């Protein structure tokens, strides 16, 4: 279980961690910047598609480990009271953050599906869909950022 926790909860310790606290958030930020080119050119490169697949893998690894940990009774650190009403990070605990973490994870999977639809040109004309690609990847980056934030920081209802 400790290996799963280490894989699932890996965070960068760099000064730029406020922009991308996890490898997943960094990968989605790169995808966001990269998505501007297909939106402008009106075509998707093979390298963009490969990077999108890498983002899928970086999404599914924490999803799989998170489901296994949840089945074992684990919750996000911000939702666990280790004593004195504080989390392992020394912040007030907030039990509602566990459900919020699941919500953002579901949004990440849904966002990736929408990006796939836009890239493949299904359900919407291909060139028109690519114009929305930066918006979809911006949403994905925001969701990836919030997944890490929710796991660490308390929300508006700490200790309830």
Residue-wise pLDDT tens digits, 82-106: 888 888 888 888 888 888 989 999 9
Q: How far apart are CA 140 and CA 24, in angstroms?
A: 10
- Residue 124 confidence (pLDDT): 86
Q: Is 159 left (phi over 0), alpha (psi -120 to 50) or beta?
A: left
Rounded Cα distance, 28 and 20, in Å: 9
Residue 11, pLDDT score: 76
pTM: predicted TM-score of the whole model, two decimal places: 0.89
Nearest to 97 by CA among 116, 121, 78, 113: 78
Could you give the C-alpha distances from 124 to 41, 52, 70, 109, 119, in angstroms and in order? 17, 19, 37, 19, 10
Q: Supply the pLDDT for residue 81.
A: 82
Q: Are 38 and 44 in contact (CB under 8 A)?
A: yes
Q: What is the pLDDT of residue 109?
A: 96
The pLDDT score that the predictor gives to residue 14 is: 67
Positions of the chain with pLDDT lower than 50, given as ranges: none
């Amino acid at each position: 279980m400790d290996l799963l926790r280490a894989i699932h909860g890996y965070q960068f310790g760099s000064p730029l961690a406020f922009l991308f606290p996890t490898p997943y958030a960094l990968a989605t930020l790169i995808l966001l910047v990269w998505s501007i080119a297909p939106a402008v050119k009106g075509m998707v490169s093979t390298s963009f598609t490969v990077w999108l697949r890498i983002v899928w893998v970086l999404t599914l690894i924490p999803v799989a480990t998170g489901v296994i940990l949840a089945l074992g009774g684990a919750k996000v650190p911000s939702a666990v009271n280790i004593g004195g009403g504080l989390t392992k990070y020394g912040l007030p605990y907030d039990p509602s953050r566990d459900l919020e973490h699941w919500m953002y994870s579901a949004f990440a999977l849904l966002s990736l599906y929408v990006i796939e639809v836009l890239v493949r040109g299904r359900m919407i004309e291909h060139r028109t869909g690519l114009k929305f690609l930066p918006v979809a990847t911006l949403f994905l980056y925001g969701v990836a950022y919030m997944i890490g934030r929710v796991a660490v920081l308390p929300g508006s209802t700490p200790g309830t």
